Amino acid sequence: MSHQPLAISHISGRGLPLRGHDIDTDRIMPARFLRAVSFEGLETHVFEDDRAADPAHPFNDPRYTGAAILLVNANFGCGSSREHAPQGLARAGIRALVGESFSEIFRGNAAMIGLPCFEAERASVERLQALIEAEPNAVIEVDLTTGRLHTRALGSDVVLSATLPAALREAFLTGQWNQTAMLLDRFEEVQTVADRLPYIRGF
Amino acid sequence: MAEALFHKVWNAHTVRRLPSGQTQLFIGLHLVHEVTTPQAFDMLRRHGWSVRFPNRTFATIDHIVPTSTQRRPFLDVMAEEMASSLERNCRDAGIPLWTPDDEQQGIVHVIGPDLGLTQPGMTIACGDSHTSTHGALGAIAFGIGTSQVRDVLASQCLALDPLKVRRIEVNGRLTRGVFAKDVILTIIRRLGVQGGVGYAYEYGGSLIDAMTMEERMTVCNMSIEGGARVGYVNPDRTTFAFLRGRPFAPEGGAFDRAVKWWTSMASDRDASYDDRAVFDADGIEPTVTWGINPGQSVGIDEPIAAERDDEALEFMGFRPGEYVAGTRIDVAFIGSCTNGRLSDLEAAAAVLRGHRVAPHVKALVVPGSKSVRKAAEARGLDRVFTAAGFEWRGAGCSMCLGMNPDRLEGRQICASSSNRNFKGRMGSPTGRTLLMSPAMVAAAAIAGEVVDVRTMLEGAPA
């Protein structure tokens, strides 16, 4: 939440494969944990109901303790706009997501707190998930400047494309992802637009 | 150049292009509620920022309010803390707030249009994904997260990428017993829950043109369930007639000038679109969900297809080839920002008149706002519901999202007029939700199981 630009150009860490399409934010952070006036402590409730229902859930699996890169499938984070979902993941140590696709609101919310959601081809994501399941200690590196993801697992190097929408990539690379100050930068222009709108000016 | 409403509104509200390439977009109306905002107000205080346009910001308390008794303090201490936190924040910033003590309180997406706050040609933001509802009036309305709420409070702006526009035409007429809810469930089923990612949905065609504003709200409300963050209908005479006389709508000569501007913001006849999809209204059946996302639905006469999602089938307890009709229900819920308006209650009451809820079913009806509740009572609908065995509750989000005392227990099955059948959505991690129209919920409540409402409408063959 600092005014200082905090550029993110490179992320590395171990992976956490979480399989399934259309995983919604109610599952990432069940609604009862939104009954609070701060985001503190949300890390303990990430996927709480799914974890209780499935002892083998990846977030219960000690092999993935300390993982920083969440590997998901298509339309991750659909549903509710609750920022509590990416907040919980970030507070649980997740620093990037790689998936086939993301819900727009989720990806925007994640970006606002410095958590990039990279898109990769379906086959690449599935291959990466399988590799990490086989070798959970492999380190994944993502380079925002080149849009390349690298890992070395099962004795060979794997390189694949992991991309962000151009504006988000730029925002991370220049440290402008926390944008309030930027939106306030030329406030007179905001006022000009407001004054021009008939419903603000008066019909 | 011929343009769609989305682009006209976008351009009229563009402040500048940001260094990242995103657009700085002015937000004409910011709606605020208790769940997604306390942290945003905290961030403002920490940075010494103020609320720049308190007169373009309006607040209500909806998600956490109990619907049985709304007396303060709420029994749930966390709910009370959230409510009083919003009260404090709004008082400090000079933001109008409707609490459960006020006659105007209700679900944010019900009261915005009803008060005339929502108007054509506006940009609207709210920390809630169902903000797409407001598009029914020809506004571009974005669901946002808490950090973006902070941005809008501090600057009245959002940094956004433009969306593509998909024109969705629904032509023809709905047959008896088929409602706006069935239309949007059918659209999501065909285009998919991911189909709208990157798009704004513009709904049109002869059916949408003939719809009332409340029906259009139901359709736009669930755009997000199809992956589209924004959904809208072009403003027309129905829109203008709806707005006339509402508390925040322009009056007299100003209203006529507003109509001119609103009309000018509608999509041009020859506007081009990034994509199109066409639906035939006559073929739409009463629709019910069988799975764990709103795209997993079938017509009431149709079996669950063989191409299946094992996780969803296992969670719900269905097998491919089975029918949802005949499924015994435990709870019937009528309400939510999707279907908690007066016409929704009327449609349900029309089915319930002269009937009783099955003894094993717990049935509740939760009006979307206090005004809806009052209007329904003036028409005697409360007596129809209570005579049938429904509980007549106070306004709020209620069972739709399990953030208040109204929740499923264990593996209960709920026939629901709400918008999401996600795992755990209604407050029990194993609870199951079947989405359908309010009339279908009423029919299921009477039968004690999912049935085709058409067999229960007046004049139906015995």
pLDDT tens per residue across span B144-153: 999 999 999 9
Do B82 and A37 count as a contact with CB atoms less than 8 A apart?
yes
Q: Please indicate, yes or no, if residue A28 is contained in any of the structural domains.
A: yes
- Alpha-carbon distance A103 to A76, whole Å? 6
Distance from CA of A103 to the nearest CA of B (A): 7
Q: Which one of A39, A81, A87 has the shortest CB-CB distance to B129?
A: A81
- Rounded mean pLDDT of A155-176? 93
Interface of A with B in 136-195 (CB under 8 A): 165-168, 170-171, 174, 176, 178-180, 182-184, 186-187, 189-190, 193-194
- Rounded mean pLDDT of A153-177? 92
Given this model, what pLDDT does residue A177 score?
A: 85
Tokens of B165: 């526009």
Q: Please indicate, yes or no, if residue A88 is contained in any of the structural domains.
A: yes
How confident is the model over B214-246, as pLDDT tens digits?
999 999 999 999 999 999 999 999 999 999 999
Given this model, what pLDDT does residue B308 score?
A: 76
Do B18 and A3 count as a contact with CB atoms less than 8 A apart?
no
Q: Please indicate, yes or no, if residue A14 is contained in any of the structural domains.
A: yes
How far is it between the farthest Cα atoms of chain B?
Answer: 69
- Alpha-carbon distance B138 to B204, whole Å? 12
State the complex-level ipTM: 0.95
Close Cβ partners of B190 (under 8 Å, ≥ 6 residues apart): B277, B279
Do B119 and A199 count as a contact with CB atoms less than 8 A apart?
yes
| CATH architecture group of domain B5-160 | 2-Layer Sandwich (3.30)
B71 class by beta-carbon count within 10 Å (0-12 exposed, 13-18 middle, 19+ buried)? exposed
Residue B458: band (very low, low, confident or very high) from pLDDT cuts 50, 70, 90: low
Close Cβ partners of A188 (under 8 Å, ≥ 6 residues apart): none
> Which residues share a beta bridge with B157?
B26
DSSP 8-state symbol, B364: E
Tokens of A142: 């993502």
| CATH architecture group of domain B164-239+260-282 | 2-Layer Sandwich (3.30)
Distance from CA of B321 to the nearest CA of A (A): 23
Q: Which one of A31, A101, A190 has the shortest CB-CB distance to B155?
A: A190
Q: Which residues of A touch B26 (CB under 8 A)?
A: 190, 193-194, 197
Given this model, what pLDDT does residue A2 score?
A: 42
**Interface with A, mutate which of B124, B142, B146, B432 (most A CBs under 10 A):** B146
Tokens of B405: 């005392």
| B235 reaches A (C-beta below 8 A) | no
Q: Please indicate, yes or no, if residue A188 is contained in any of the structural domains.
A: no
| A54 reaches B (C-beta below 8 A) | no
Which part of chain B has CATH 3.30.499.10?
5-160, 164-239+260-282, 287-455
Tokens of A61: 């699996």
Q: Which residues of A touch B314 (CB under 8 A)?
A: none
Do B254 and A202 count as a contact with CB atoms less than 8 A apart?
yes
Q: Which residues of A touch B37 (CB under 8 A)?
A: none
Its sign, for the CA torsion B406, B229, A72, B195, is positive
The helix/strand/coil state of B55 is: helix
Domain count, chain A: 1
Q: Which residues of B touch A203 (CB under 8 A)?
A: 250, 254-255, 257-258, 261
Number of Cβ within 10 Å of residue A148's Cβ equals 14
Closest CA to A24 of A103, A97, A116, A89: A103
What CATH number is given to the structural domain containing A83? 3.20.19.10
Closest CA to B291 of B440, B438, B189, B406: B189
Residue in the block written with tokens 């925040």: B248
How confident is the model over A79-127, as pLDDT tens digits?
999 999 999 999 999 999 999 999 999 999 999 999 999 999 999 999 9
**Interface with B, mutate which of A39, A91, A101, A104 (most B CBs under 10 A):** A104
Q: CA distances (Å), A155 to each of A64, A80, A158, B355, B388, in order?
A: 20, 41, 10, 70, 69
8 A C-beta contact, residue A83 and residue A114:
no
Q: In which domain, by residue range, is A147 found?
A: 10-164
| B75 reaches A (C-beta below 8 A) | no
Interface of B with A in 416-445 (CB under 8 A): 420, 422-425, 427, 429-430
How confident is the model over B84-128, as pLDDT tens digits?
999 999 999 999 999 989 999 999 999 999 999 999 999 999 999
Report the C-alpha dihedral over residues B386, B332, B143, B297, rounded to 10 degrees: -140
Statement: the pTM of the whole predicted model exceeds 0.95: yes
Please give the full DSSP string across B185-204, using - where no structure is assigned.
Answer: HHHHHHH-SSTTTTEEEEEE
8 A C-beta contact, residue B186 and residue B282:
no
DSSP 8-state symbol, B132: G
| A202 reaches B (C-beta below 8 A) | yes
How confident is the model over B180-220, as pLDDT tens digits?
999 999 999 999 999 999 999 999 999 999 999 999 999 99
- Alpha-carbon distance B300 to B123, whole Å? 38
| A78 reaches B (C-beta below 8 A) | yes
CATH number for the B287-455 domain, one of 3.30.210.10, 3.40.50.2300, 3.30.499.10, 2.30.110.10? 3.30.499.10
Q: Which one of B26, B311, B427 has the shortest CB-CB distance to A194?
A: B26
Is 70 exceeded by the pLDDT of residue A5? no
How far is it between the farthest Cα atoms of chain A?
Answer: 70
How confident is the model over B321-333, as pLDDT tens digits?
999 999 999 999 9
| B307 reaches A (C-beta below 8 A) | no
H helix runs in B369-433, sequence order: 370-378, 381-388
- Alpha-carbon distance B325 to B301, whole Å? 8
The helix/strand/coil state of A3 is: coil
Do A80 and B15 count as a contact with CB atoms less than 8 A apart?
no
